[in-house]
Every structure is written in C-alpha cells, then in structure tokens.
C-alpha cells in the first residue's frame, strides 16, 4: 500500500526526491518511508541520480 503511494508521488513530482520530501508529500511516517525506500532500492525500482535523492527507475 505505502509502496504504491510513494512511487506515485515520486512519479508525479517529476524530479528526484529525498525521503523527507516524500514524507511531506504523502503524509506517511518517515520510518515507513525509509523502510519502503530500502525495499525499492534493493529491488531496483528506484535509482539515485543525485546523492540522497531518488527517482523511479524507468
């Protein structure tokens, strides 16, 4: 559930986002965002074009 909301927010932002920015956009707790980011990084669903900023993999 949170994964889909986070990825949707990242796609709509159309720019790389930090975990803090995702937290502000979605209202999801930062600990949950960090956990989902870890899962998304491991699966390759998000990439980091800039240090500490993430974007959905194309």
Domain count, the chain: 1
> What domain range is 24 assigned to?
2-56
Cβ distance 37 to 48 under 8 Å?
A: no
pLDDT tens-place string over residues 8-18: 999 999 899 99
Q: What is the rounded distance in angstroms from the CA atom of residue 24 to the CA atom of residue 57?
A: 21
Residues 44-55, mean pLDDT to the nearest whole number: 95
19-26, long-range: CB < 8 A, 24+ apart: 19/54, 26/2
Question: The CATH number of the domain where 9 resides is what?
Answer: 1.10.10.10
pLDDT tens-place string over residues 18-42: 999 999 999 999 999 999 999 999 9
The structure tokens 């600990």 sit at 31
């Amino acid at each position: 559930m949170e994964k889909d909301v986070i990825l949707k927010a990242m796609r709509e932002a159309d720019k790389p986002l930090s975990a803090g920015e995702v937290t502000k956009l979605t209202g999801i707790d930062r600990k949950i965002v960090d956990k989902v980011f870890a899962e998304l990084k491991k699966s390759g669903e998000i990439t980091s074009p800039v240090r500490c900023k993430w974007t959905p993999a194309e």
